[in-house]
Chains A and B, each alone.
Chain A
Amino acid sequence: MAMNQSELKYEEETNPNVNVALRYKSWMVFLIVAMVVGGAAIGYRLVEGLAVTNLTNFVPWGAWVAFYIFFVGLSAGAFLLSTLIFVFGMVQYEKVGRFALFTALICMVVALMFIALDLGRIERATNTLINWNVMSILSWEVRFYLIYMVLLATELWFAMRKDLNLLARSGNLFKNKLASFLTLGSNDISDIAIKKDHSWMKILGIIGIPIAIIGVHGGTGTLFAAVTAQPYWASPLFPIIFVVSALVSGTALLLAMYVIQRKARGLEVELGMIQGLAMLMIGFLAIDLTLEFYEFLVAGLNNKPEKMAILSVMFTGPYAWSFWGVQLFLGAVVPIYIVANKRLRNSVTALTVAAICIVIGIIGVRFNIVVPTQIIHQLKGMPQGYYAPNLVEWLSSLGVVAIGLFLYSIGAKLLPLEVNDEEVIEHE
């Protein structure tokens, strides 16, 4: 592209007819209120310990663990989607590429906050790095998470480098200064340098694929699958289901976030791209459902009493609503109907609703993985447990998610995450 570089500018488009600043402000106020309320719950939990939760010795893992694997999944899914763009050259999705990387990073931060909240001894968290138990999957995961986050940040930096430079030159506001700082002194935006950036992104993406699949999310699935004592988890299909459902939720989240952001700024959304993403999302969902179908079918045919007891808790017990209602109806039936319906398929709003349903459905999936299996005690002759998160757990979860959204919103405001149209072509 032979364009004079000084003419290049990074500018965020907004619709002049909409008061975007006001919308942004009220959104931020909402998040701050949520953070204050959630922060109080988090503080209470930090001072009083885990006694303020509904966790017991029967059900030691609860909502926070479910949210932790949910956000790890979102992150891995969002990252894998970004590799479709940066590694496999599916440029039609380029517009969500940087959002995908940034979302993946923020989701990891949120996931780690959740798991930190869940530790009985947060102050000793670094013990996991000091005392490495090579046999413990969890101890590997901690390391994978950190490597993965560094990789995400680096790849995002390469993806934004050019625009950071442009941004740095086009003004003197805080935003521009921040951009200039973030360039880390790497100011060469000649075509050759940009090409180099792209190959770096490709390399990092390629390295990232096994890290995200095997290390980060497959590993998180293995963390469960490796537990012989929990017959429902101890299935080799588990890590695979984890990865596929990560793709489902990651794609759905990106779709929803992208549309919501564009609409909030009063901008048009390109239906074609959203439809493409929606098809991708439904495709992943279909694979996910197939895997789960076999998981349950084989379990039923094997007829192992311990496993059957857990399945019956899932299907007919006190959490049946979460399986049938959230996981299957909201998370699968509704979105599939929307995408299959001719009229709804052509509406961006309907597709966004489908995506949101899927994201909520996957929360149900994560909850159903963690909780029902613990309801049945490892030993016969022990009473059944019960668990539902209490107010402290809900509010602190709200707080953690609000912190994540807050970081995201600030990032989306200050960083060049949007991709200008001419760059899309350039990337080919």
Chain B
Amino acid sequence: MSDRLLNQFTNVAKKALEASKYSTTLGMNMAEDARRLSRAEMNEEDFVRKYQGMVQKEFGKKMELAGIEETKDGPKWGMVIDLRKCVGCDTCTVSCKAENLTPPGISYNVVLVEEKGIFPNVSRTNTPRPCMQCDKPPCVTVCPVRATYKSGDGIVVQDNDRCIGCRYCMVACPYGARSFDFGDSYEGEMLGYGAMTAPDHGMDRGERKKGHSPIGTVRKCTFCFHRLQRGEEPACVETCVGDARYFGDLNDPNSVVSKMASEARAFRMKEEYGTEPRVYYLR
């Protein structure tokens, strides 16, 4: 129905364009891509790049990106967690452990539970907490050897081959998002656990052995960097039962996460610490 309507309009537009002194094909193509643009199948930058030359030739006017931040430097990852949708099932915690093969005692993700009020007026809030990948990360500031640093894609990276295991970053992280690898193993319960290797920042370290990194160093959530490299979402996002987690490029103002992050419901944890987290919550 709507298609037929649309086609009718298209024909009208075509006739109007043919009557004008400007190129009909250009007009039709631009209109089609503009529709893609509005359906977010195309971004504005590509649109401008595609037509800039032709528009200049045809109309003698320069097309420019209006009010849009440059996205040349690639995506800057961020996450939005909708607290109203989180059911507190801890699937993210478990899938994170399975994905990153974290040893006993280490959990990159936890779900904090807060109950308020007296029965029957009780409310319960579940707050999942990954590493916030802060833009002003205190863990990076304190590290004496620059083992932990902020990478260009927004992720706070930890170099386990440089870390001296002083644990200063652990006491300095306001979100308790860092853990020390004491060298414990699930080998007793799970045969071959040590043979599997944790995909740490996209690097394969081989068998988990005493005296080898990351044992004796600090570890943290990487937004599943190894999955991002394959074009997949972080494990916690993919497995979330309540579909409460969103992941994407906060650099792109049109991304779902950017839009959600600018909603009135959005907030960040411990904003007053000035850490500028890249994980937003919707209250």
Q: Give A residues with C-beta under 8 Å from B.
A: 49-51, 55-57, 60-61, 118-122, 124-125, 127-128, 130-133, 135-139, 142, 223, 226-230, 374, 377-382
Contacts and interface: CB of A to CB of B under 8 A. Distances in A.
Contacts of B163: 120-121, 124
A127 B141 contact: no
5 contacts: A51-B182, A127-B162, A133-B143, A136-B141, A227-B142
A314 to B, nearest CB: 17
A121 B172 contact: no
A128 B144 contact: yes
B171 A230 contact: yes
Given A49-B215, A118-B166, A125-B164, A57 B179 contact: yes
B1 interface: no
A283 B140 CA distance: 40
Interface in B200-257: 210, 215-218
Interface stretch (B3-11, B68-76, B105-113): B105-113
B182 A49 contact: yes
Contact of A229 (B140, B162, B172, B184): B172
Nearest to B218: A120
Contact of A378 (B113, B127, B175): B175
B273 A131 contact: no
A111 to B, nearest CB: 14
A120 B165 contact: yes
A230 B173 CA distance: 9
B168 interface: yes
A138 B144 CA distance: 6
B165 A136 contact: no
Interface in B148-191: 162-168, 170-176, 179-184
Contacts of A374: 171
A139 B144 contact: yes
A232 B54 CA distance: 64
A50 B162 CA distance: 18
Nearest to B166: A119
Given A138-B166, A378-B173, A229 B112 contact: no
Given A49-B216, A121-B163, A374-B171, A228 B144 contact: no
B170 A133 contact: no
A121 B217 contact: yes
Chain B's interface size range is 35 or more
Given A121-B216, A136-B144, A381 B112 contact: yes
A228 B174 contact: yes
B167 A49 contact: no
A380 B270 CA distance: 11
A223 B144 CA distance: 11
Given A120-B217, A131-B145, A378 B112 contact: no
Given A57-B170, A135-B140, 18 more contacts: A50-B216, A57-B106, A57-B180, A60-B170, A61-B167, A119-B166, A120-B180, A121-B165, A127-B145, A127-B147, A128-B144, A136-B142, A136-B144, A142-B144, A227-B142, A227-B171, A228-B172, A378-B174
A199 B280 CA distance: 62
B270 to A, nearest CB: 9
B173 A120 contact: no
Contact of A380 (B114, B142, B181, B216): B114
B97 interface: no
Given A49-B182, A51-B184, A379-B176, A121 B171 contact: no
B278 interface: no
Contact of A228 (B112, B129, B182, B273): B273
A115 B218 CA distance: 17
Most buried by A among B147, B167, B173: B167
Contacts of A128: 144-145, 164
Contacts of A230: 171-172
Contacts of B127: 381
Contacts of B174: 228-229, 378
A230 B138 CA distance: 12
Contacts of A377: 176
B138 A228 contact: yes
Nearest to A118: B166
A226 B164 contact: no
A49 B165 CA distance: 11
B103 to A, nearest CB: 10
B129 A127 contact: no
Most buried by A among B138, B171, B180, B181: B171
Contact of A226 (B140, B142, B184): B142
Nearest to B167: A60
B283 interface: no
Contacts of A56: 105
